[in-house]
Structure 1
Amino acid sequence: MNHRTRIGIVGTGLIGKGIAIEVVKQQDIELAKVLTRRDLNSMGEYPFQDVLTNSADDFFEHIDVMVECTGDVIYGTEVIDRAIKATIPVITMNAELQVTTGSYFAKRGFITEAEGDQPGCLASLHENVTAMGFKPLVYGNIKGFLNTDPSMEDMKYWSNKNGVRLDMTTSFTDGTKVQVEQALVANGLGVGIAVDGLLAPSSDDINKAGAHLAEEAKKAGYPICEFVVAPKAPPGVFITAEHDVRQKDALRYFKMGEGPYYTILQNFHLCHLEVMKTIRRVINEEKILLNNSVNPTVSVAAIAKRALKIGEKIDKGIGSFQVRGEAVDIKANPHHVPIGLLVNAVLKKGIAEGEMITFDDVELPESLALQAWIETIEAVNKVSVGN
């Protein structure tokens, strides 16, 4: 009766610190450990010094639930592997990791994305609207801006202005982040995409955009994940859905319009402030909100932003000025390299601007993340990738 659930957080950036601040306010849970790779002597500004550790052994010895928010696919995969092997439930706010290695872990233990970022918010909204009898056709993400090839100068300016890492700022701007998020939603909710790279219409009228995308979903014959570029719209998510025609008069009265498509908008997503809802869900219900599923159908491929040369090194694909990510159908693109795996990668071939990078084009260092992806892709496609 007196047990307090011990929460461990991996990551000390904006999200990790924000989650920690909320966790320590709770009466029935405690912030037990925070695992970081940073030098502890350099972290005098961190508000909870007593829980910081560089030791994974120390970390896992003292926690009951892990929240991973490193933003790092390779390192995050290694840490989650330890948690899964220790049967510790894993909550992530790392869609990039989920679409790369999340399915590997979904087969082995408890892993869920958190509410707060758009994928978790869409999963929560899905539960709400389907409980009301709606039949979703479009799972929509609202993006205020898009520049698929931004300049280094602009990205440094916005990175400094917003206090967000350069690679993250670039990933948000060039569309990689939203492509990753929608791939995760597609896999987690068992829906699809209309086209590789997504349709991504531009409109500040979310109702009209939702109706247009609903028509595309009807043509495709299945619900789709999409995003709308809408500079004047709120930074949230939406679902466009159908409903029983017998509810048409009631929905009109409820100011939902004439139908046949109804758009339900959540006009915010508050990142780490919403994570406590998922922590409660895991502790009280032992229920997954969203993960990449054991049988994913969508991945995020790396597309060259410019011509790339033989021998050129890609330090980190996500947020780079060399490549950007596009959501793609896995079976139609079985040899693509997920952008999350492009870390310390060396090109074996020249790549033209706009070309998709495949396993034949690049040399990747060995990692658990690479092994996890190969297992996943071979299960999906029944083909061998790499050498």
Structure 2
Amino acid sequence: MQPTRISVVGTGFIARGLIQALRIAPDLEVNRVLTRRDKQSVYGIPYEQLTQSLEELLENTDILIECSGDVQHGTEIIMRAFEYDIPVITMNAELQVTTGSYLATKGFLTEAEGDQPGSLAALKENAVGMGFKPVVYGNIKGFLNLNPTEEEMRYWSERNGLSLEMVTSFTDGTKVQVEQALVANGLGADILYQGLNGQEAAKLEDGAYNLAELSLKYGHAISDYLLCPSGPPGVFITATHHEEQAAALEYFKLGKGPFYTLIQPFHLCHLEILKTIRRVERGDGILLNNSTQPRISVAAIAKNPLQAGELISKGIGSFQVRGEAVKIENEPNHIPIGLLQQARVIRPIEEGEILTFNDVEIDGSTALKAWLDVKERVDLGQVN
């Protein structure tokens, strides 16, 4: 039996780790790895697996893993993969919340288990299978600094072996906003406020209970996060259960109710992508995507005053803007932070202001067309 041919887009931390992990699975074969870098400069990946030819990649692929971290590049590649009828797994929440709802209408697209959104989707499957009814889909953050300095971020980038953009987006909250927007859209939840609630919690269980009470008042399941330095680097779901199970759940150390918190105290990124590959092989369907009916997006918020003529090379992970989750109906003209690449500011913008399409000039791209398609359907009331 021939091994399943896996191709990977990207050569960063996630891609390198995945390629190493796949070596322990004899029935899975890393066939091609697409890079835009000089192949001689890529480390940690066998040279013979590297290619700069998208056609070569797609002609030798059974399942494509997109983990480039680039919204525009990733969108273009996924569209081409769908022309070959190739199923696509992403670990790219930024792409999902920007163009994923358009892509989900064109082919098989799922986020991978391993990062927080996929981990929450898998935890939901487990929880619902046991009779729980989720009311909070929670992310756990230990630290935030909405406007870190470049010096600070360079230190942590070099210390952890991650890109400067990645470390900055973790620290300024953009990543958690993106992740929880994806969770809200994909798992049928809502958000309480622009920028999420994000309350501080000395104990995870207490903070989760507080969010559950807010969800109950709101009347809908919510996607949010806790700022809990003592919490594990994972995710949680707070849920209700049938009253007749209350005594058993208390015996199982989940408390007296009516809310019960299920914690997954880890997310292992590239190691868990293998579970999603197996899911696709089994034909078990989509774990998570942004849905074809999104209600939540991630707007760009100015960290500092921006001047006319200023160039934003890339919004996510920059020192000019950060992301905040918004309801599309409340901010219909916002520009998603994932679209800000080589964007030119055309009017002065104040610190804390949401950037709109009237504020910047951006080049046409597949990603822009995808977003405008979704936005048109939102405006026409074709999404709920």
With normalisation by structure 1, the TM-score equals 0.97
Separation in 2, partners of 1:142, 1:160: 24
The C-alpha deviation readout for 1:135-194, integer Å capped at 9, x for no partner, is 100000001100101111111111111111111111000000000000000010111101
Find 1:54's aligned residue among 52, 55, 76: 52
Separation in 1, partners of 2:26, 2:47: 20
Does the residue aligned with 2:304 lie in a helix, a strand or coil?
coil
**Residue in structure 2 matched with residue 4 of structure 1 by the alignment:** 3
Separation in 1, partners of 2:126, 2:306: 46
1:27 offset after TM fit, Å? 2.0
Q: Matches of residues 1-387 of structure 1 in structure 2 within 5 Å?
A: 2-43=1-42, 45-382=43-380
1:268 offset after TM fit, Å? 0.4
1:85 offset after TM fit, Å? 1.7
Separation in 2, partners of 1:41, 1:372: 34
Separation in 2, partners of 1:65, 1:47: 18
Does the residue aligned with 1:70 lie in a helix, a strand or coil?
coil
Separation in 1, partners of 2:155, 2:19: 28
Does the residue aligned with 2:343 lie in a helix, a strand or coil?
strand
1:286 offset after TM fit, Å? 4.4
Name the amino acid aligned to 2:24: K
Does the residue aligned with 1:318 lie in a helix, a strand or coil?
coil
Separation in 1, partners of 2:204, 2:259: 12
Name the amino acid aligned to 2:162: V
Separation in 1, partners of 2:348, 2:82: 39
Separation in 2, partners of 1:81, 1:348: 31
1:113 offset after TM fit, Å? 0.2
Separation in 2, partners of 1:79, 1:312: 29
1:49 offset after TM fit, Å? 2.1
Separation in 2, partners of 1:158, 1:21: 24
Does the residue aligned with 1:103 lie in a helix, a strand or coil?
helix
Indicate the larger mover: 201-210 or 123-132.
201-210
With normalisation by structure 2, the TM-score equals 0.98
Does the residue aligned with 2:371 lie in a helix, a strand or coil?
helix
1:126 offset after TM fit, Å? 0.3
1:46 offset after TM fit, Å? 2.8
The C-alpha deviation readout for 1:39-96, integer Å capped at 9, x for no partner, is 11223x3342221111111111101110000000111111111111211000000000
1:220 offset after TM fit, Å? 1.1
Q: Tell me the C-alpha RMSD between the 2 structures.
A: 1.0
Separation in 1, partners of 2:110, 2:94: 13
Structure 1 spans left out of the alignment, 5+ residues? none
Separation in 1, partners of 2:138, 2:250: 22
How many residue pairs end up in the alignment? 381
